[in-house]
Chains A and B, each alone.
Chain A
Amino acid sequence: MRPSGKLGLAVAAVIAIAAAAVSASADPDRVTEALVTNQTGDSLTVVTLSDMKPAVEVAIGGKPAGIAVSPDRRRAYITSPESKEMVVFDAEARRVVKRFKVGEGPLGIAAHPTNGRVYVADWYTHKVSVVDPEAGAIVAEIAVGDSPSGLAVTPDGRFLLSADRDSDAVSIIDAATNRRLRSVPVGKRPFGITIDASGERAYTANVASDDVSIIDIAAGTMVGTVPVGHRPYAVALAKGRAFVTNQYGSSLSVIDLGSAKVIKTIDVGDHPEGIATDTTGDHVYVACWFDNVLMRVDTGTLAVTGEAAVGDGPRAFGLFLR
Chain B
Amino acid sequence: MVRAVALALGALVVFPTFASAHGPTRQKVTETVEINAPADKVWAVIGNFQDMSWHPAVAKTEGSGGNDANATRTLTLTSGGTIEEKLISNDPAKKVYKYEIVKVDPKVLPVNNYSSNLSVKGEGDKSTVEWKGAFYRGFMNNDPPPELSDEAAKKAVTDVYRGGLDALKKKLESGG
Contact = CB atoms under 8 A, between A and B. Distances in A.
A123 B21 CA distance: 9
Given A104-B142, A271-B134, A290-B132, A166 B20 contact: yes
A123 B142 CA distance: 10
B142 A270 contact: no
A234 to B, nearest CB: 14
A123 B30 contact: no
A47 B28 CA distance: 23
Nearest to B27: A40
B136 to A, nearest CB: 12
Number of chain B interface residues as a range: 20 to 34
Nearest to B20: A166
Given A1-B158, A2-B30, A40-B28, A290 B134 contact: yes
A166 B142 CA distance: 17
Nearest to A188: B20
A1 B21 CA distance: 27
B88 interface: yes
A65 B24 contact: yes
Contacts of A147: 21
Contacts of A248: 88, 98, 100, 115
B161 to A, nearest CB: 10
A208 interface: yes
Interface string B131-169: 010100000011000000000000000100000000000
Residue among B30, B31, B88, B117 with the highest chain A CB neighbour number at 10 A: B88
Interface string B81-107: 000000011000000001010000000
A63 B24 contact: yes
A165 B26 CA distance: 17
Contact of A166 (B21, B30, B100, B115): B21
A105 interface: yes
A124 B141 contact: yes
Nearest to B141: A124
B26 A313 contact: yes
B20 A40 contact: no
A123 B134 CA distance: 20
Nearest to A146: B21
A230 B142 CA distance: 27
A250 B89 CA distance: 11
B174 interface: no
B71 interface: no
A107 B26 CA distance: 13
Given A230-B88, A248-B88, A289 B26 contact: yes
A194 interface: no
Nearest to A66: B24
B45 interface: no
B24 A40 contact: no
A1 B20 contact: no
Contacts of A40: 25-28
A104 B140 CA distance: 13
B67 to A, nearest CB: 17
B21 to A, nearest CB: 6
Nearest to B117: A270
A124 B20 contact: no
A104 B142 CA distance: 8
A78 B117 CA distance: 30
B29 interface: yes
Contacts of A206: none
Contacts of A124: 141-142
Contacts of B134: 271, 289-290
Interface of A: 1-2, 39-40, 63, 65, 81-82, 104-105, 107, 123-124, 147, 165-166, 189, 208, 230-231, 247-250, 270-271, 289-290, 313
Which 9 residue pairs spanning A and B have beta carbons closest together? A81-B24, A63-B25, A248-B115, A248-B88, A166-B20, A147-B21, A105-B24, A39-B25, A271-B134
5 contacts: A39-B25, A40-B26, A40-B27, A65-B24, A249-B88
